[in-house]
Structure 1
Amino acid sequence: MDRIILKGMKFYGYHGVSPRERELGGNFVVDVELYLDLKKAGREDDISLTVDYSRVFGIVKEKITCRSYNLLEAAAEEISSDILKSFPVRETVVGIKKINTGLEGSYEYMGVEIRRQSSLKQNEGKGN
């Protein structure tokens, strides 16, 4: 399976369970992988046969910068759901890293990664 990768998208957002996190905000890094067949797009050099990266970036940016979530899991679910609804993608992997959590100690980041499949994949070969 082919994949499109959008890695290291950086945003400032207001997500977290604690009121402090939601007031002060923090830095987030989002990675998205999209699994789909890219053969036809590659052969024909046609953007309409693939996924427009700028539209995926826009979905991620809107969710991270314009919304507020208690959980990174919720943000990742919404990003994945919007991508699967908007594009002919079989599977998504969405990772969100919270760079500054306010916790004491030494760490690079804390985050989540989810993998979701399109109903298109589940219905493949069934005439749908």
Structure 2
Amino acid sequence: MDYIHVKDMEFYGYHGVLAAETAIGQRFRVSITLAVDLHQAGETDELEYTVNYAEVYMICKEIVEGEPYKLIEAVAEQIATRILATYEGRVKGLRVEMIKPDPPIPGHYREVSVELTRGEFQ
């Protein structure tokens, strides 16, 4: 299996359980790994045989900067669902990591994140 990685995309959204999160908003980072057969794209040098990662970026941007969700799990699920539907048959599987670098919880840590995997991965 071949993979396309789009790492550390950064967006500003209004997701969270606390009122302050939905009022003020915060930064979110998203990393995506797509399982795709890239053999034909490599041989032909044609975009039609791969996944346009500029479009993947825009899907992530629309979802993260769009409708607020309480849970980052829900945001990650929306991203996975949309990418799989958009590239049905081409994307065999994907991994979405949704990162909340500054959650409003006390303590010292770098970030919190969820990671979900859908479809085929080796």
1:24 Cα deviation from its structure 2 partner? 1.1
Rounded to whole Å, the distance in 2 between the matches of 1:49 and 1:7 is 21
1:26 Cα deviation from its structure 2 partner? 0.8
Normalising by structure 1, report the TM-score: 0.90
Q: State yes or no: 1:96 paired with 2:98.
A: yes
Residues 96-118 of structure 1 show CA distances to partners (whole Å, capped at 9, x for unaligned) of 11011111211110110000017
Mapping of 1:48-67 within 5 angstroms? 48-67=48-67
**Paired residues, number:** 119
Residue in structure 2 matched with residue 115 of structure 1 by the alignment:
117
- Whichever residue aligns with residue 30 of structure 1, its letter is V
Identity of aligned residues (%): 39
Residue in structure 1 matched with residue 73 of structure 2 by the alignment:
73
Residue in structure 1 matched with residue 19 of structure 2 by the alignment:
19
- Whichever residue aligns with residue 70 of structure 1, its letter is K
Instruction: State which drifts further: 3-12 or 97-106.
Output: 97-106
- Whichever residue aligns with residue 11 of structure 1, its letter is F
- Whichever residue aligns with residue 117 of structure 2, its letter is R
Unaligned runs of 5+ in 2: none
1:22 Cα deviation from its structure 2 partner? 0.9
After superposing on structure 2, the runs of 4+ consecutive aligned residues of structure 1 that deviate more than 2 Å are none
Aligned CA-pair RMSD: 1.2
Normalising by structure 2, report the TM-score: 0.94
Residue in structure 1 matched with residue 37 of structure 2 by the alignment:
37
For the residue of structure 2 that corresponds to 1:107, the secondary structure is coil
Unaligned runs of 5+ in 1: 122-128
Rounded to whole Å, the distance in 2 between the matches of 1:68 and 1:86 is 22
Rounded to whole Å, the distance in 1 between the matches of 2:74 and 2:119 is 16
1:75 Cα deviation from its structure 2 partner? 0.6
